């Protein structure tokens, strides 16, 4: 690969549903609530994995190192050591049991990453950090952390350690109208107060959807008056731009996958073949990280453990 | 917090002022432009999303506050990073002697309190920037400080405008 296109990302920008509070005490409560819930899910799912493993769990490789290690060699040595331990452990586990464990450990990883995104300015931030390492350690040990090769010639990773330690989010700039759910006018031009309840007569629109619940099949009868909460529904949404921001309003508007620079090793057909077959793995989950990249210098390439990709991946083969 | 009053650093965006301006009304004016339309001629002008409900709340309280842009020509820019601590409001009126000016700014602060869960007192201590275009004199003023300080500054400017009006 001589054509270098720089770092590329896939990201989540917006989510369906109510817009999260923009700031202040409402936002603090929102982040606290969803952060704690995500952390709990991460723990519950991890516990489920341990329960499935039963007595084997006692022999599982231990995450017995400090989570942050700045010395590259020390970090790499731990990764190698743990990879060997996991290979030995994994060979003792039946495929059926692995199949049962997999959805739970993936859920644990994803919930832990969500928890950090909600709790990044919260006293529980380090708990979320620990939950990511713990779940990613097991997920990598049992199921790998593949670096994939795509038709675009790039290598890609969704490594939870690499992705979650880049503390960056995305903010869409949208121009949109909001329509009142009660009268259909623009919210700024009608007199309905959002979140207040108003009587509304049920009807069917041109697509056969109920004007009360927006479903095609429901119990609302045409002509029936129902008390309905007023809410603002976006329409004519136009995207202006997307910005990288330190703190996105949607806490989960983050990078979900990024291109992975393997350097010269990436040009080796054997490496590309391994990536295509799903057997080229990242070891970032198996050892300590370099701490968070708070993006204060906006140097995306200095993200945790992505600086020595070439050396790591040659070793993997 | 101290208040900063700047009479020379800001002018209303092209097309932001109302085409016709009624003496006893205050107008919310757009203060943002699109970043990407510069090469395609006149940039579009936008209201920030946090003023979308302000004239409606004012209507409910009997305040004569309107958008400067007519229905169908108003565009609101929603940005999804966490809220900038500094909220901004652009207003236009014939004269700063208007009795509605301070009530409008107070209402904007109250809306922030409601939207974000602050008490009204807390919301008054948050940073605020108000742009005022006084069309009678052509003065364009930018005031920045805590909500409380901005309102105090507006009271002083309002008193000056009233004095000026009496002297005419």
The residue segments making up the domain with residue B9 are 4-167
Q: Which strands sit side by side in the sheet containing B139-146, from one edge to the other?
A: B4-6, B139-146, B127-134, B87-93, B26-28, B65-67
At residue B39, the pLDDT reads 58
Average pLDDT over residues A58-85: 96
When divided into structural domains, chain B yields a total of 1
CB atoms within 10 A of CB A281: 22
Distance from CA of B53 to the nearest CA of A (A): 5
Question: Would the CB atoms of A21 and B116 count as touching at under 8 Å?
Answer: yes
> Taking CB atoms and an 8 Å cutoff, what residues of chain A touch B116?
21-27
> Under DSSP, is residue B55 helix (H, G, I), strand (E, B) or coil?
helix
pLDDT band at B43 (very low <50, low <70, confident <90, very high): confident
Determine the average pLDDT of the residues in A186-203. 90
- pLDDT for res A11: 92
Give the percent of chain B with pLDDT over 90.
Answer: 74
Res. A52 pLDDT band, cuts 50 70 90 = very high
Helices (H) then strands (E): counts for chain B: 4, 9
Task: Tell me which of A122 and A242 has the higher pLDDT.
Answer: A122
Predicted confidence band of residue B1 (pLDDT cuts 50, 70, 90) = low
CA pseudo-torsion sign B33, B34, B35, B37: negative
pLDDT of residue A304: 43
Chain-chain contact of B81 with A173 (C-beta, under 8 angstroms): no
The answer, yes or no, to whether residue A165 has pLDDT greater than 70, is: yes
Bridge partners, B130 (sequence order): B89, B143
Mean pLDDT over A104-132 rounds to 98
Residue A309 predicted with pLDDT over 80: no
| pLDDT value of position A317 | 40
Q: Minimal CA–CA distance to A139: which of A35, A69, A46?
A: A46
Assess A251–B contact: CB distance below 8 Å, yes or no. Answer: no
User: Residue A4: which pLDDT band, with cuts at 50, 70 and 90?
Assistant: low
B14 CB within 8 Å of a chain A CB: no
Between B78, B80, B118, which is nearest A253 by CB?
B80
Residue A307, pLDDT score: 44
* pTM listed for this prediction: 0.86
Phi, psi of A236 (to 5 degrees): 50, 45
Q: What's the rounded Cα separation, in Å, for the pair A13 and A188?
A: 26
pLDDT at A294 over 90: no
B119: closest chain A residue by CA: A25
pLDDT category of residue B36 using cuts at 50, 70 and 90? low
CA–CA dist A46, A104 (Å, integer): 7
- Mean pLDDT of the A281-286 span: 94
Nearest Cα to Cα of residue A312 among A277, A278, A286, A273: A286
What mean pLDDT value characterizes chain A?
A: 89
- Model pLDDT, residue B41: 64
* Residue B77 to residue A253, Cβ atoms within 8 A: no
Q: What average pLDDT does the segment B98-102 reach?
A: 94
């Amino acid at each position: 690969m001589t054509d270098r296109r720089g770092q590329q990302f896939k990201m989540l920008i917006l989510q369906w549903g109510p817009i999260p509070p923009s700031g202040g005490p409402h936002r603090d409560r929102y982040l606290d609530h969803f952060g704690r819930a995500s952390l709990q899910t991460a723990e519950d799912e991890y516990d489920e994995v341990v329960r499935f493993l039963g007595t084997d769990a006692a022999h599982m490789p231990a995450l017995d190192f400090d989570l942050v290690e700045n010395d590259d060699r020390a970090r790499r040595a731990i990764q190698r050591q743990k990879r060997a331990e996991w290979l030995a452990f994994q060979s003792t586990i039946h495929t059926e049991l692995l199949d049962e464990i997999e959805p739970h450990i993936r859920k644990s990883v994803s919930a832990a990453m969500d928890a950090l995104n909600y709790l990044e300015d919260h006293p529980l931030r380090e708990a979320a950090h620990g939950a990511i390492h713990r779940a990613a350690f097991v997920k990598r040990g049992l199921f790998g952390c593949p670096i994939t090769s795509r038709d675009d010639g790039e290598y890609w990773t969704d490594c939870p350690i690499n992705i979650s330690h880049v503390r960056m989010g995305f903010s869409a700039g949208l121009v949109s109208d909001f329509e009142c759910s009660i009268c259909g006018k623009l919210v700024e031009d009608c007199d309905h107060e959002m979140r207040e309840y108003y009587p509304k007569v049920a009807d069917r629109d041109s697509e056969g959807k109920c004007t009360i619940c927006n479903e095609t099949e429901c119990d609302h009868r045409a002509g029936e008056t129902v008390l309905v909460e007023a809410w603002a529904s976006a329409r004519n949404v136009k995207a202006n731009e997307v910005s990288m921001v330190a703190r996105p309003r949607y806490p989960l508007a983050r990078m979900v996958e990024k291109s992975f620079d393997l350097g010269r090793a990436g040009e080796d057909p054997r490496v590309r073949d391994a990536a295509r077959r799903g057997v080229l793995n990242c070891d970032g989950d198996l050892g300590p990280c370099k701490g968070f990249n708070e993006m204060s210098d906006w140097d995306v390439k200095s993200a945790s453990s992505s600086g020595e990709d070439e050396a790591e991946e040659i070793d993997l083969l | 917090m101290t208040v900063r009053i700047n009479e020379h650093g800001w002018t209303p965006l092209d097309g932001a002022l109302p085409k016709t301006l009624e003496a006893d009304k205050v107008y919310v004016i757009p203060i943002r432009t699109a970043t990407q339309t510069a090469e395609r001629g006149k940039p579009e002008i936008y209201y920030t999303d946090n003023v979308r409900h302000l004239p409606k709340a004012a209507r409910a309280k009997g305040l004569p506050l309107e958008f400067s842009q007519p229905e169908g020509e108003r565009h609101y820019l929603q940005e999804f990073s966490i809220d900038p601590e500094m909220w901004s409001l652009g207003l236009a009126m014939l004269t700063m002697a208007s009795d509605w000016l301070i009530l409008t700014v107070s209402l904007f602060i109250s809306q922030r309190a409601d939207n974000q869960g602050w008490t009204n007192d807390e919301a008054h201590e948050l940073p605020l920037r108000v742009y005022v275009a006084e069309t009678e004199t052509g003065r364009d003023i930018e005031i920045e400080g805590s909500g409380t300080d901005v309102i105090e500054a507006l009271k002083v400017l309002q008193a000056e405008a009233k004095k000026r009006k009496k002297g005419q």
